[in-house]
Structure 1
Amino acid sequence: MRSLVGLLAVVAAASLYLYSLSLYLPAAPRRHPHSAESKHVETAESEQQRADSSGEPSGLKFPSDLEELRELSELLQFYKTEHTGYVLLLFCSAYLYKQSFAIPGSSFLNILAGAIFGPYQGLLLVSVLTTVGSTMCYLLSKAFGKRYITTLFPDKVSLLQGKIEENRDCLFFFLLFLRFFPMTPNWFLNMSAPIVNIPITFFFCSVFIGLLPYNFICVQTGVMLSEVASLDDLFCWERLLQLLAIACMALLPGALIRRLSQKRLKLDVQPQNGLITDKKVQ
């Protein structure tokens, strides 16, 4: 009971902080744009006017689809021109909140990072936030959630524990494989890692390296979405070749890991019930 109360207190404090931060929306930048920027700024100004008239924050909520993602991206890009620090703090806080409490939807925030911060800063930012947030989830699970996770997912924890022990001699390589090929969901791996005795250093490094391809694809998608105005722009030859190059770059590390894993790791050929089965690769 004490662990449950502690966890609820942490969730409540983090939720209150994020809600308070979202309420503090700085004044809109006052500038007179020209040509191509005019439509973008007019959209953001109309969004701000709707917010002022309703007395609510202008759309500051987690996006649930691409349309909401685009609207939020336009709003934050507008505010980023003069309130970069606030936008960065808000984004980092929202991202860490999702990762720390294993809330689905981080892919939307990865795409949003590409749209707001660009391909290089966006990738670095989400890679660091993913790693830090997952590590916070690890620590929260270790402090408050061991008993509850074992009770809720006894079979999955047992199967994962068995595979960890079988590959203990090359544990870091095995963790990289699980990140490249998530045969168990990342949120479950984050929460169960301290239960199956994965060292936090191995966990931290495997998250940063293993999720780089996924983060790369999401960020590049956000960059492209911020640049295109219609589906015709998205399906032009230049964009299609860019998508192909992104896919090849992202899939290459996973292909190398998979080839090496067939010789070094005790893995299963087919996933079952969200985790790997007992059939070993020879």
Structure 2
Amino acid sequence: MRSLVGLAAVVAAASLYLYLLSLYLPAGPRRRPPAGTGAEAGHVELEEPGDASEEPSRLKFPSDLEELRELADLLQFYKTEHTEYVLLLFCSAYLYKQSFAIPGSSFLNILAGAIFGPYQGLFLACVLTTVGSTMCFLLSQAFGKRYIVNLFPDKVSMLQRKVEENQDCLFFFLLFLRFFPMTPNWFLNMSAPIVNIPITFFFCSVLIGLLPYNFICVQTGVMLSEVSSLDDLFSWERLLQLLAIACVALLPGTLIRRFSQKRLKLDVLPQNGLIDDKKAQ
């Protein structure tokens, strides 16, 4: 009971912090609908806030290319005018999501690419994923061991057995689990302290193992923020860029899979029920 109260206190404090941070959200630019036809007709103009006669731009999930372009323009405005606030809000939201195993990291990684660019975005995604997962590890270690075992007894037992069988190459076993969807990332984050995975191995395996996933998401965000039409999306330049991204992302997984066939003991994992869950963060 005490552990539940402690976890609830941590969640409440983190939620209150995010709420208070959101109260200081700066005013966004005004959106002027296009007036005319031709090349300029599909472009949405963003102006400085202050004119009450025009509709304010809002942060929302895009449903088509036009809304995606508008979102990218809006985020670029916030980045230019309120860089420190955007960085603080993005990092806080990302760590909140990762620490409490809330789905949605792929969208945040895409946003990282759209807002911060390919290099800074990838750096932020990797660091925040690793730190947030480690915070989830520590929260589970402090408050959740008994409840996780009660909720997922078979999965925890199977993971414990596979960890013991692969003790001589535990770090590569953890990398394999991150590269391939044998078990969801959220479950691995919460169960790692229960099955006695050292926090140093855990930290490094998240940083390296999720690098290809983060790379793909960030590069997708960079590309989509630059797309203004379907012709741009299916140009030879974009297709070659997608091919290069796929090759870079698949190379580490190929090497880990080849190593796993020689060293890791994985023959029972597909039958334990873990593979039925979607890989999520």
Give the TM-score of the pair, scaled to structure 1.
Answer: 0.85
Task: Tell me how far apart the structure 2 counterparts of residues 25 and 276 of structure 1 sit (CA, whole Å).
Answer: 41
User: Distance between the aligned counterparts of 1:66 and 1:104, measured in 2?
Assistant: 22
* Structure 1 letter corresponding to 2:201: F
Residue number in structure 2 paired with 1:11: 11
Inter-CA distance 76–64: structure 2 relative to 1 (3 Å threshold): closer
Deviation at 1:22, TM superposition (A): 1.4
Distance 2:24 2:110 in 1: 24
How far apart in 2 are the matches of 1:69 and 1:148? 41
Structure 1 counterpart of 2:24, which letter? Y
* 1:101-140 aligned within 5 A: 101-140=100-139
CA offset at residue 26 of structure 1? 2.3
1:47 and 1:170, CA in 2 relative to 1: closer, same or farther beyond 3 A?
Answer: farther
- Residue 73 of structure 1 deviates from its aligned partner by 3.9
Gaps of 5+ in 1: 53-57, 278-282
Does residue 224 of structure 1 match 2:223? yes
Map Cα deviations across residues 179-235 of structure 1 (whole Å, 9 max, x no partner): 111200000000000000000000000000000000000000000000001222111
User: Closer, same or farther in 2 for the Cα pair 1:70/1:156, shift >3 Å?
Assistant: farther
| Residue equivalent to 1:94 | 93
> Deviation at 1:269?
7.4
Matches within 5 A, 1:1-282: 1-28=1-28, 39=43, 41-42=45-46, 50=55, 58-59=58-59, 63=61, 72-268=71-267, 271-272=270-271, 274-275=273-274
**Residues 267 and 276 of structure 1 are in contact (CA less than 8 Å); yes or no, is this contact kept in structure 2?**
no
In percent, how many aligned pairs have the same letter?
Answer: 82
- State how many pairs are aligned: 264
User: Does structure 1 retain, via aligned residues, the 8 Å contact 2:169–2:264?
Assistant: yes
CA distance in 2, matches of 1:66, 1:270: 39
* Secondary structure at the counterpart of residue 42 of structure 1: strand
CA contact (8 A) 1:270 1:276 kept: yes
Q: Distance between the aligned counterparts of 2:269 and 2:143, measured in 1?
A: 33
CA drift of 1:43 comes to: 7.2
SS of the residue corresponding to residue 149 of structure 1 reads helix
- Following the alignment from structure 1 to structure 2, what is the Cα–Cα distance between the partners of residues 184 and 47? 51
Task: State the superposition RMSD in angstroms.
Answer: 2.8
Structure of greater relative contact order (alpha carbons < 8 Å, 6+ residues apart): 2
Post-superposition offset of 1:176: 0.6
Runs of 4+ in 1 over 3 A off after TM superposition: 27-30, 43-52, 63-74
| CA 193–238 in structure 1, closer or farther in 2 if over 3 Å, else same | same
Q: Contact 1:142/1:194 (CA < 8 Å) preserved in 2?
A: yes
1:241 corresponds to which letter in structure 2?
A: L
Work out the CA distance in 2 between the residues paired with 1:47 and 1:226.
Answer: 26
Shift of the alpha carbon at 1:40?
5.7
CA distance in 1, matches of 2:137, 2:107: 22
Instruction: Report the TM-score when normalising by structure 2.
Output: 0.86
Measure, in 1, the Cα distance between the counterparts of 2:273 and 2:48. Answer: 42
Match in the other structure for 2:279? none
